[in-house]
């Protein structure tokens, strides 16, 4: 719990994070998240604003009673009642903190507090002194410091340290600052305030301009040793600096920073998921560190690079932040190397370059129709490709159109390539599949009995491939045919043709059951 020479991570998910409209948490939920934060080894957990409500007081107290390895903090305005309530709430903690604040920008002092700067200094000093009588660890924040006058900040911060503040937190409350400007403010305050060295300095940045993490890191570069942040960047308006981004930026770029955090990074993903599930604020896929795509590669050139040497396209290891591993997503941007590697992992071997090419071609065609290709899709593709190569597909589907309207008889219109010649036919049927089969029969003039027709979706989702199996019987011979497509009527036509081709190729076969369904 001591600050030592590491960067102190002050997590405010349960206080500022909870201020996101719609993110309110119950006491039990706060305790669950606090436990996760303790496993993550955050130094300080700001558990709530005890004066806000009885429920929040009880939540902060429950967290203080439960957590042993992180300091537990409660927020309080600069008034007696709030401070006493915060002191009472954190009293059971193994290590507690009272965090008191008052706004220092001209607009906040004049319009919101309706106090003069002298009155604000007076309240800040009284608040810090009162808090110090209740707790030996007191943090003071000049709210809206990012828009406050530096001279006034120097005055009030010096007074707060003299009154007993052990941490001075500089908030960019409305996310207005730019990184260089915020770093400049920190540097200026540290140089000009004579007793600055008696407190730990902290940054608390908001993300209104998407700069919360950048501003926090810039402040770290200028001497702050505590950063206030939240899991998934949850927080008031556009949120706070994201804890996982701060932690991994500092760890990954130790060449740029003076020290590291104590965070157990493998807990980042589980904690992110817990907070997302409890608050209902799901993380965007491209969110750094914890987004589902943060360690996923779909482009062939990237996949090829990562397969050859991970560091070509990854600056962190997925495993280090709680993911099982990085992820190769097969889609239309993927190349042969990733395709073959995944197939090999699934035990699919290609005996020849021709077989690989055939399967890869089919994979690209499918990928044009489907967002993501799953393992089951690959299995189906590999089977189809093998069948296509090993069998004489004398009849193939060239084009297909089907009109199906409420109250109207469905009509299928298709073109087949039969022994090298294109032939077209239309037919009506009881349903689109029946119409398709009849149109095929019309061209081929075959009479086979349909013994079985079944459809399975290979993967989930409305863009999933449907896999159709048909079983045909003619003259005592029984064959099965399979077809897969994102359109199940086309999958049906393919399966029917596959079976008809087999009937042609297995003219002499008498044990069709061996094929199984």
Ligand X SMILES: CC(C)C(=O)C(=O)O
Share of the chain residues as helix, strand and coil, in percent rounded to the nearest 5: 45, 20, 35
Residues 198-217 that bind ligand X (CB under 6 A): 204, 206
Q: Which is nearer to ligand ACO, 101 or 360 (CB)?
A: 101
* Number of residues lying near ligand X (CB under 6 A): 10
CB atoms within 10 A of CB 372: 14
Query: What is the rounded distance in angstroms from the CA atom of residue 377 to the CA atom of residue 365?
Result: 12
Min separation Cβ 48 and ligand ACO, Å: 9
Min separation Cβ 314 and ligand ACO, Å: 36
> Among all chains, which residue has been given the structure tokens 């920073």?
257
Of 246, 291, 255, 278, the C-alpha closest to 42 is: 246
Of 185, 227, 181, the C-alpha closest to 202 is: 227
With CB under 5 A as the contact rule, the residue among 10, 14, 15, 16 that binds Mg ion is 16
Beta bridge partners, 421, equal 418
Min separation Cβ 14 and ligand ACO, Å: 12
Residue 97 engages ligand X in binding (rule: CB under 6 A): no
Q: 38 is in the binding site of which of ligand X, Mg ion, ligand ACO, none (Cβ under 5 to 8 A by kind)?
A: none
Q: How far apart are the first and last CA of the chain?
A: 64
Q: Which residues bind ligand ACO (CB under 6 A)?
A: 16, 19, 49, 51-52, 77-79, 101-102, 112-113, 143, 173, 236
Residue ranges in 109-252 assigned as alpha helix (H): 117-134, 150-163, 179-192, 212-221, 243-252
Q: Which is nearer to ligand ACO, 77 or 502 (CB)?
A: 77
Of 6, 157, 12, 132, the C-alpha closest to 71 is: 12
Q: 212 is in the binding site of which of ligand X, Mg ion, ligand ACO, none (Cβ under 5 to 8 A by kind)?
A: none
Phi, psi of 449 (to 5 degrees): -90, 130
Phi, psi of 422 (to 5 degrees): -80, 135
Min separation Cβ 142 and ligand ACO, Å: 10
Min separation Cβ 25 and ligand X, Å: 17
Determine which helix (DSSP H) or strand (DSSP E) holds 8, and give its type and residue range: strand 8-11
Min separation Cβ 487 and ligand X, Å: 53
Q: Look up residue 349 and give its two tokens.
A: 């071997």
Q: Which is nearer to ligand ACO, 43 or 143 (CB)?
A: 143
With CB under 6 A as the contact rule, the residue among 101, 152, 182, 400 that binds ligand X is 101
Piece in contact with Mg ion (CB under 5 A), picked from 11-19, 61-69, 218-226, 472-480: 11-19
Q: Which is nearer to ligand ACO, 24 or 426 (CB)?
A: 24
With CB under 6 A as the contact rule, the residue among 16, 18, 82, 222 that binds ligand X is 16
Do residues 323 and 357 lie in contact, with contact meaning Cβ atoms separated by under 8 Å? no
Q: 141 is in the binding site of which of Mg ion, ligand X, ligand ACO, none (Cβ under 5 to 8 A by kind)?
A: ligand X
Residues 138-177 that bind ligand X (CB under 6 A): 141, 143, 169, 171, 173
Residue ranges in 234-374 assigned as alpha helix (H): 243-252, 268-279, 300-308, 336-345, 353-367
Query: What is the rounded distance in angstroms from the CA atom of residue 125 to the CA atom of residue 164?
Result: 9
Q: What is the DSSP annotation of 473-491?
A: EETTEEEEEEEEESSHHHH
Task: Indicate the annotated binding residues for Mn(2+).
Answer: 16, 204, 206, 240
List residues binding Mg ion (CB under 5 A): 16
Under the rule (CB under 6 A), what is the footprint of ligand X? 16, 75, 101, 141, 143, 169, 171, 173, 204, 206
């Amino acid at each position: 719990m001591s600050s030592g020479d590491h960067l102190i991570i002050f997590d405010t998910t349960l206080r500022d994070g909870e201020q996101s409209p719609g993110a309110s948490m119950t006491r039990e939920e706060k305790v669950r998240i606090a436990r996760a934060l303790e496993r993550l080894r955050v130094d300080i957990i700001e558990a709530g604003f005890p004066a806000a409500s009885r429920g929040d007081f009880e939540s902060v107290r429950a967290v203080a009673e439960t957590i042993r390895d992180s300091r537990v903090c409660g927020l309080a305005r600069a008034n007696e009642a709030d401070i006493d309530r915060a002191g009472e709430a954190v009293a059971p903690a193994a290590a507690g903190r009272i965090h008191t604040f008052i706004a220092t920008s001209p607009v906040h002092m004049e319009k919101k507090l309706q106090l003069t700067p002298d009155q604000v200094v007076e309240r800040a000093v009284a608040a810090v002194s009162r808090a110090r009588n209740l707790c030996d660890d007191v943090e003071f924040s000049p709210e809206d410091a990012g828009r406050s006058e530096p001279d006034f900040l120097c005055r009030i911060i010096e007074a707060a340290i003299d009154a007993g503040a052990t941490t001075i937190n500089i908030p960019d409350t409305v996310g207005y600052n730019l990184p260089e400007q915020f770093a400049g403010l920190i540097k200026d305050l540290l140089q000009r305030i004579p007793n600055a060295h008696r407190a730990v300095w902290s940054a608390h940045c908001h993300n209104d301009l998407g700069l919360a993490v950048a501003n926090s890191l810039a402040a770290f570069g200028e001497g702050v040793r505590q950063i206030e942040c939240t899991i998934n960047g949850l927080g008031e308006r556009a949120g706070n600096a994201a804890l996982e981004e701060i932690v991994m930026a500092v760890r990954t770029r130790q060449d740029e920073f003076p020290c590291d955090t104590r965070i157990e990074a493998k807990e980042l993903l589980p904690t992110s998921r817990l907070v997302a599930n409890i608050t209902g604020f799901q993380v965007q896929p491209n969110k750094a560190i914890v987004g589902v795509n943060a360690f996923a590669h779909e482009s062939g050139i990237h996949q090829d690079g990562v397969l050859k040497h991970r560091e070509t396209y990854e600056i962190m290891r997925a495993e280090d932040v709680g993911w099982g591993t990085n992820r190769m997503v097969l889609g239309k941007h993927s190349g042969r190397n990733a395709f073959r590697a995944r197939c090999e992992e699934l035990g699919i071997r290609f005996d020849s370059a021709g077989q690989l090419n055939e399967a890869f071609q089919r994979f690209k065609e499918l990928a044009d129709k489907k967002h993501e290709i799953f393992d089951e899709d690959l299995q189906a593709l590999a089977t189809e490709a093998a069948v296509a190569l090993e069998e004489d597909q004398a009849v193939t589907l060239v084009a297909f159109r089907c009109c199906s309207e409420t109250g109207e008889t469905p009509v299928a219109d298709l073109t087949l390539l039969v022994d090298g010649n294109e032939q077209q036919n239309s037919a009506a049927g009881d349903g689109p599949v029946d119409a398709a089969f009849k149109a095929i029969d019309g061209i081929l003039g075959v009479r086979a009995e349909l013994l079985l027709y079944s459809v399975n979706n290979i993967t989930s989702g409305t863009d999933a491939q449907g896999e159709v199996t048909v079983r045909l019987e003619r003259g005592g011979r029984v064959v099965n045919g399979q077809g897969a497509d994102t359109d199940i009527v086309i999958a049906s036509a393919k399966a029917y043709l596959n079976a008809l081709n087999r009937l042609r190729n297995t003219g002499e076969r008498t044990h069709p059951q061996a094929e199984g369904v």
